[in-house]
Amino acid sequence: MFQILLFAGYTFVLGLIKPSHVPPVPLEARRLTGWALWKKCLMGIIPSAVLIFVVLGTMMMGLATPTEAGAMGAVGAIVLAAIHHKDFTSTDRKVLIIGVIAAGIGTIVAMLFTENLIFKIAFAVTYLAVAWICISAARIPDLRDLIKQGYESTMRLTCMVTFILIGSTCFSVVFLGVSGGVWLEHLLTSLPGGVWGFLIFINLFIFFLAFFLDFFEIAFIILPMIAPIAQKILGPVVGDGPALIWFGVMLCVNMQTSFLHPPFGFALFYLRGVAPKEVKSSDIYWGAMPWIGLQMIMVLIVIAFPITVTGLLDKPVNVDLDKVKIEVPQIDLPPLDLGPPQK
């Protein structure tokens, strides 16, 4: 929330100071009024919002793991690409409507009642509709090529991450075997400034390291070495339990800058791919500088106010121990045959 407010506030102030930097929508694109305008906005917002909920909402509600949510997001992206393609037939559209209606019925039944046969049938129809649309997408040549490209990119990325994990594990074993952990602990605990000196040094180190290393390498190689030291140093400030959570969120906010600054900023490459030719790469790089500064301000906010991360961690959990039930299934064991009694 703080990050959204920070970015929105910067855009608002920039619009007041330099309106040319945030030009309005052209007049010819603002001809629609009334229901036509509402329909266009809803058709653009609702599918994207549903896709965001499928990925992030299911994780936040505890309905899916990150891997499962990612798979659901990939399927959702395929469905969105199919329904927006010109070759999406009327039959496919009818199947989509049936699937949406079935999902709505299943959700209402789950909210008002318990999961029963109607709930299972409704979501079975939804799954069949999704499978139909995915098969329809594979039949469209353009989408089939995109799906194939996505599979190949995912496989390459997965293999890269796996080998980085294997290599980082080997490196960590050797590093700890030669007492590198003890040397690193003495180095970081002797920094001037105590806790705050440690945090400033680590964040500056990660920030400049992200210029040359991807966030995968930083997460798999650097963080496992400094996490135990961070828990030991930050424990007296926020407690042993929330220490690593605070430290992890802080570094995640910091590593978001690795997407924004050259030479390996992925967001810059994505923008370069869709920007017109008259926009220079240097313009994109300079345009990213304010957002990098805002991201660093966000890092300072997280460092200065740990409550922004740990505020809800100490929330008491009201659990009535008298209502806790642990059901252990009864296992019927065969009678023991000890043989005839000994004389």
Is 63 inside any structural domain? no
Query: Does some domain include residue 147?
Result: no
When the pLDDT of each residue in the chain is averaged and rounded to a whole number, the result is 81
Interval 128-165: pLDDT, tens: 988 998 888 888 888 888 888 888 888 888 888 788 77
Q: Tell me if 206 is assigned to some domain.
A: yes
Residue range of the domain that includes 205: 179-311
Q: What is the mean pLDDT of residues 266-275?
A: 78
d(CA 269, CA 296) in angstroms, rounded, equals 21
Answer yes or no: are the C-beta atoms of 206 and 200 closer than 8 Å: no
d(CA 253, CA 299): 6
C-alpha torsion 169→258→270→292, nearest 10? 170
Is residue 196, in this structure, part of any structural domain at all? yes
Statement: residue 172 has pLDDT above 60: yes
In whole angstroms, what is the distance from residue 165 CA to residue 160 CA?
9
Most confident of 181-185, 271-275, 303-307, 329-333: 303-307
99 in a domain, yes or no?
Answer: no
Looking at the structure of the chain, the number of domains it has is: 1
pTM comes to 0.65
**CB 91 within 8 Å of CB 135:** no
Decide: residue 298, CB within 10 A, 0-12 exposed, 13-18 middle, 19+ buried. Answer: buried
In a domain, 35, yes or no: no
Q: Tell me the backbone φ, ψ of residue 60, rounded to 5 degrees.
A: -65, -30
Does some domain include residue 321?
no
In a domain, 77, yes or no: no
> Of 147-161, 196-210, 271-285, 328-342, where does mean pLDDT reach its minimum?
328-342
